[in-house]
Amino acid sequence: MVHKSRRDGMRKSNVAATAQTVFFRRMRTVLIRPYGKGLIATTMYYDYELRSSEKALEKMPKTASAWAKALQRNC
């Protein structure tokens, strides 16, 4: 249960918190911030864990017909 006073205090002060937790057997740093009626944790990554958008998207189909063919192959 979220302590309303903590959440509202964080929102009023415009601050966030960091914490460490274990996801999938790995220690992760998360950013905790107020969200709606609760708190939300966002996983933070180190630069070496990320890849560029160009590299991530290079294998994506370029046209609608290529997308359709790729979807048919995967069904």
Considering the domain boundaries, does residue 12 fall inside one? Answer: yes
Considering the domain boundaries, does residue 18 fall inside one? Answer: yes
Tokens of 6: 């903590």
Task: Give residue 9's domain range.
Answer: 1-47
Considering the domain boundaries, does residue 42 fall inside one? Answer: yes
Considering the domain boundaries, does residue 61 fall inside one? Answer: no
pLDDT digit of tens for each residue in the chain (75 aa)? 567 888 898 999 999 999 999 988 989 999 999 998 899 999 998 878 777 878 777 877 778 888 888 788 876
Exposure b/e, 26-56, CB count within 10 A at least 16 = b: eeeebebbbeeeebebeeeeeeeeeeeeeee
Considering the domain boundaries, does residue 10 fall inside one? Answer: yes
Instruction: Give the chain's domain count.
Output: 1
pTM to 2 decimal places: 0.58
Considering the domain boundaries, does residue 40 fall inside one? Answer: yes
What are the C-alpha distances in Å from 19 to residues 2, 5, 46, 59, 72? 15, 19, 15, 35, 43
Per-residue model confidence (pLDDT) at position 41: 93
